[in-house]
Every structure is written in structure tokens, then in C-alpha cells.
Amino acid sequence: MHQVYTGTQIREAEQPLLAAGAGPQLMHQAAWGLAQGVIELLHEHQLAVPGARITGLIGAGNNGGDGLWALSFLARRGAHITAICTAERVHPEGAAAFRAAGGRFLSGPETADYARAEVVIDAVLGTGARGAWEGHPVPEGALVVACDIPSGVSADTGQVSGQAITADLTVTFGGLKVGLFNGAGAAHSGNIKLVDIGLGPHLPAPELQLLSPTDIPELLPPAAPHAHKYTRGVLGVLAGSTKYPGAASLVCAGALATGVGMIRFLTQTEHAEPLTTLVLGAHPEVVPATDPTERVQAWLVGSGLSDSDHRVEQAKQVLTLTQQQQLPAVIDADGLKLIEPATTQPRVLTPHAGEAAALLNRLGAGSDDATQNQRVDRANVEADPLAAAQKLAELTGDVIVLKGPHTIICGPDAGPGQRFIYPGGHPFLATAGSGDTLAGIIAAVLTGWAEADAAPPLAAQAAAGVWLHGAASYAVAAGGPFGASQLAAGVRTVVAELL
Ligand SMILES: NC(=O)C1=CN([C@@H]2O[C@H](COP(=O)(O)OP(=O)(O)OC[C@H]3O[C@@H](n4cnc5c(N)ncnc54)[C@H](OP(=O)(O)O)[C@@H]3O)[C@@H](O)[C@H]2O)[C@@H](O)CC1
Ligand SMILES: [K+]
């Protein structure tokens, strides 16, 4: 498990060390790690360090200081180092070390040299940045290494209000920052390398957690040796419609590959119908059901539902039932249009940005602050998905899985096991039906834990499902582009490797 902090939390953790006079030492550690990051990147690109043309973009504060010290370390390895100051002030000790190492500050016509840089170290703004940044051009083809956080990206939120640097690599100090993973920041950060500068004992509870493969086995329901299908868990599924028949099969495929005792599929009508035939054709083990009150341990409602009157009525009925029985439920897609907030029921909502915006508007999210009566749109959610997920979790009392390039999983409470980020599956995962499979996977995890004595927090269960879905995408993508119906095979591979 990796911990992710806001920039403000990292700054606060530095304070006791700065007060004890450890500032220069922290900066040297940070700069050393930054220089190592540059060297590794050069090697990855089959470029030699001796003679490499490396230019630092240097701001007024300690971020600039880190950049100057890193350049001086790189000069010792034979790199050709130059720097451009973007402000009138510059970190004095850093500048002295840079000059002593043979570094040259470019000014006036010399800045033309900048166009030949092979590597640019972005050390303009770090955690001390405030408001919008006007930006600075980067030579075409240069590799860009951001110092701590790409300049222009908020370390607290990932928001970019003016211009921002886009890095190939960000070397970040003391702790991973929310801004590297959330919203626009994720697209600017490139690969991320964490350098430990000894803040450990001073760090607070993290804002977010990133799951590692070793965290997953204990978050997936155990397969007990003497289990039978009912103890393992029965999942009720209300998914698919005449308009989106495939969703029902994809949901069932995701759930079966993750592992459930049984699936009861709520049919559209009492009579044999094409939707049920399709589901049973793909998964003969699924049991069709016409009565939603038959016993299940958890429900999945909404994937591919469409707005057909009959299917919507069925969904309303099942949602009420799950509330009365306090059953775990995953609510996906059109099911999200039907939920009412503030229940104590263990529920997981799985919106994408557009659905999250619609739900926030329906629940009146804009009405309690300066944005009064202003409608939330998809772009607002995409700019700060963590804030949107937190707001939704607060308004509904549910666990929110906000799907996107980086998926946020957010429970209604703060604290451990409540907030996670999954930094994206394989790009091929952006395909129709991928969300249906995800809903099935999460629902299977909830089903398996539904009657267990010591289950992980609901948000952690959902986060494990998101992780499984992402890992499955890499397993399947090894064989080339894929459609969602092939994802379940990847889920089985990943689960088999884990258990
Ligand atoms: N603390 C430590 O010992 C350690 C810190 N470390 C490093 O220090 C970094 C934090 O350093 P920091 O606090 O000096 O702030 P930093 O990000 O360099 O920028 C502040 C300067 O930028 C300016 N400025 C602000 N916004 C702006 C804008 N929008 N557009 C333009 N200018 C803007 C602002 O100028 P002002 O407006 O105040 O004149 C101010 O001078 C941190 O990220 C890490 O890299 C590590 O070495 C470990 C040890
Ligand atoms: K920076």
C-alpha cells in the first residue's frame, strides 16, 4: 500500500525538521534523488550522462534550490549544465553550488542554447506555488523531469489553473502527492519516482491510498474449504435491457470470474425472452429469477438498464428492497438516476464523470457555497475528481467509485481504508462494456464478504475490485486489443495468480 498526501500535509511534516535546522540536508537528499532520476531517464533513452545537455528552469524558492543542487551533482558525472532563472530571486546556496560545479546561467542571446537541451529539469514551482502560473516553453524533443511536482499543477488537488509543464518523469520528495494522481495533474506527471527524505515519523494519515498487489489477497473474499454455493454468496443481478442486452452478460462474466456461489438474474418478464436467452447462452450457470424477494446476499442494479418503463420499475422495487433488507448493493449506470441518498445500507455507486455531475446536481451539490445555483458539469468533475467523489460520498452516505483515467474510490468517512486511487488500467480498457464488467467484479467482492464476521471496509472492498479490473486489463492486453467480453479471462488469470 502506498500513501498519498496533499502538498500542504508534506509541508507541515517538514516543519519540525526545518525548525531543527535540517533544511539543507533535506534539500541535498531531494536533489540527489532528482539527479538519480535524471540519470535513470537518460539511460532508459540510451543517452550517456557525460556530455548530456541539461538545462534547469529555476524558480525563486526551494524548488529552484533543489534543481540547482541536482544540476551540480549531474555536472560531477560529466553533464553539461545550464540554467534559466524564471524569477528575479534564486536560492543562494543552490546558485553557489551550481556555479562552483561549472554551471552557467543563460541570459539574453545565450538562451538560444536552451533549444539544444536534451533534458529540462522543471524546478520553477513546487509545493509553494500559489494560483495560476504563466508557463515557460520547453524545447521540442527534450526529456522533461519535474522537481517534486510539475510546475503549474497544484500539489494539493492536481488542478491546473494557468499553464503547466508536462513531464516524462516527476521525482517527488517526502511522500506521493495527490496532485500527481488527481485531475489534470495525472496527465502532466509522467512516471513518478518517490525519494524518501526522512519525513516518515512526521507524516499524518494520508489523504489517499494506492493498493499494491500484495494488499489484494486479504481484500478478496476467502474461498473457505467447506463452503457451498449459498455460504459463498448469491448475487442478484438486475442489468441489461432490450436496448443494451450485452450488459447483462458482461456483468455476469465479471462476477463469475471474480468468484460467486451463484447469480440470480432478474428477468424482464415471466416469459422466455431474448435477454435471458442471451445471458444463459453465455453463462448457463446463471439462474433466471422472476421474484426479486428470493434470497440473495447482495445486489447489482443498473448496468445497461436503459429507460424502459418496465425495467425502471423493477429497479425501483429492488432498490427499495435492498434498503429494507440493508443488503450490500452496487448501483451502476442508469440505476444511479433512481437512488435516494442518506441510507445506512452498504452501497457502492459507480458513476463516470458525467453521471457523477448529474447526481451531484440532482442532490443539490451546488447550493451550499459560492457556486449557488451553478450546475456541475463533467468538466468540473474531471478537474478535481477527488473533490467530486468526496462530495458525492458525503451527500449519499455511500462509497463512490468515480471511474476515469484514474479511478477514485471514496467512502463517506475519512480515515484508513476509506479513500483510494487506482492510477488507470491499460489504455485498451477504454472500451464499451468495461464498466459493466467492473460493476460485476465489485458486486462479486461485496457478495463474498456480505456475511463474513471481519470484512474489510466497504471502500477497500470496492478498491480491490477496481484493482482487479485494472490488473485484468494488463493481463488481456498482452494478447493485443480486446473487447470487454474478453476481460473476464484476465480477471481469472489475476485471481489465480493472487490466491
Ligand atoms: N522546505 C524544505 O526545506 C524543503 C523543500 N523542498 C522543496 O521546496 C519546495 C517548496 O519550496 P518553497 O516553499 O520555497 O516554494 P516553491 O514551490 O519553490 O515556490 C515558491 C516561489 O514561487 C513563487 N510563486 C508562487 N506561485 C507562483 C506562481 N503561480 N507563479 C509564479 N511564481 C510563483 C513565489 O514567489 P513569491 O510570489 O513569494 O515572490 C515563491 O518564491 C518543494 O516543492 C520541494 O521541491 C525540498 O528541497 C525538501 C526540503
Ligand atoms: K517543479
Q: What is the CATH number of the domain that holds 90?
A: 3.40.50.10260
Residue-level pLDDT at 145? 98
The answer on pLDDT for 416 being more than 80 is no
d(CA 158, CA 3): 16
Task: Assess whether 22 and 77 both reside in one domain.
Answer: yes
| Domain shared by 134 and 180, yes or no | yes
Q: Which ligand has the minimum distance to the alpha carbon of residue 172? A: 1
Residue nearest to atom 3 of ligand 1 (CA): 23
How many A from CA of 234 to the centre of ligand 2? 51
Q: Is 8 annotated as a binding residue?
A: no
> Are residue 400 and residue 332 in the same domain, yes or no?
yes
* Residue located nearest, by CA, to atom 21 of ligand 1: 61
Task: Measure the CA–CA gap between 329 and 322, rounded to whole angstroms.
Answer: 7
pLDDT by residue (tens digit) across 16-48?
A: 999 999 999 999 999 999 999 999 999 999 999
Q: Over 70: is that where the pLDDT of 369 sits?
A: no
Q: Which domain holds residue 15?
A: 2-208
Task: Single out the residue of 417, 424, 427 nearest to residue 457, CA to CA.
Answer: 417
Judge if 172 and 234 occupy the same domain.
no
Backbone angles phi, psi at 333, to 5 degrees: 45, -125
CATH number, position 267: 3.40.1190.20
> How far does the centroid of ligand 2 lie from the alpha carbon of residue 207, in Å?
21
Centre of ligand 1 from the C-alpha of residue 462, in Å: 37
Q: Are residues 305 and 239 in the same domain?
A: yes
For the record, the C-alpha cell of 80 comes out as 553539461
Does 236 lie in the same domain as 195?
A: no
User: Ligand 1 pocket check: which of 26, 72, 130, 136 to mutate, most ligand atoms within 8 Å of Cβ?
Assistant: 130
* Ligand of minimum distance to the alpha carbon of 57: 2
Residue 400 · residue 191 · CB < 8 Å: no
Q: Which residue bears the cell 510546475?
A: 151
Ligand 1 atom 37: the closest Cα is on which residue? Answer: 130
| Predicted pLDDT of residue 271 | 76
Q: Looking at the CA of 30, name the nearest ligand.
A: 1
Same structural domain, 348 and 480 = yes
Chain segment 301-320, per-residue pLDDT in tens: 999 998 888 899 999 999 99
The backbone region for 148, taken as left when phi is positive above 0, alpha when psi lies in -120 to 50, beta otherwise, is: left
Shared domain for 337 and 390, answered yes or no, is: yes
Ligand 1: residues whose CB is within 6 Å? 14, 18, 23, 26-27, 30, 59-64, 66, 125-133, 147-148, 173, 197
For the chain, the straight-line distance linking the first and the last C-alpha, in angstroms and rounded, comes to 18
Q: How far is the CA of 129 from the centre of ligand 1 (A)?
A: 6
With CA atoms as reference, report the closest residue to 60 among 159, 128, 150. Answer: 128
Query: Band of the pLDDT at 367, cuts 50, 70, 90?
Result: low
Where a domain ends, among 157, 190, 208? 208
**Boundary of a domain, candidates 208, 229, 263:** 208
404 has binding-site annotation: yes
* CA of residue 380 to ligand 2 center, whole Å: 25
The three cell numbers of residue 348 are 457502492
**Measuring CA to CA, which residue among 299, 357, 332, 346 is closest to residue 434?**
332
pLDDT at res. 269: 81
Cα of 163 from ligand 1 centre, angstroms:
17
pLDDT at 210: 96
Mean pLDDT across the stretch 146-163? 97
Q: Taking Cα atoms as reference points, which of 3, 441, 499 lies closest to residue 216?
A: 499
pLDDT tens, residue by residue, 71-124: 999 999 999 999 999 999 999 999 999 999 999 999 988 888 899 999 999 999
* Judgement on whether residues 232 and 319 belong to the same structural domain of the protein: yes
Give the nearest ligand 1 atom to 66 CA: 47
| Boundary of a domain, candidates 160, 178, 208 | 208
- pLDDT tens figures, 218-265: 999 988 777 888 888 999 999 999 899 999 999 999 999 999 999 999
Ligand nearest to the CA of 127: 1
Q: Is 322 annotated as a binding residue?
A: no
C-alpha to C-alpha distance for 69 and 367, rounded to whole angstroms: 48
Ligand 1, pocket-test mutation among 63, 90, 133, most atoms within 8 A of CB: 63
Q: Distance between CA atoms of 150 and 158, rounded to whole angstroms?
A: 10
The pLDDT tens digits for 277-290 are 999 999 999 999 99
Structural domain count of the chain:
2
pLDDT band at 373 (very low <50, low <70, confident <90, very high): low
405 is in an annotated binding site: yes
Least reliable range by pLDDT among 159-163, 225-229, 336-340: 225-229
**402 alpha carbon to ligand 1 midpoint, in Å?**
32
CA distance 50 to 268: 70
238/203 same-domain check? no
Q: How confident is the model at residue 372 (pLDDT cuts 50, 70, 90)?
A: low
Whether residues 43 and 75 share a domain: the answer is yes
Q: Indicate if 196 and 183 belong to the same structural domain.
A: yes
Nearest ligand 1 atom to the CA of 197 is 48
Phi, psi of 158 (to 5 degrees): 85, 0
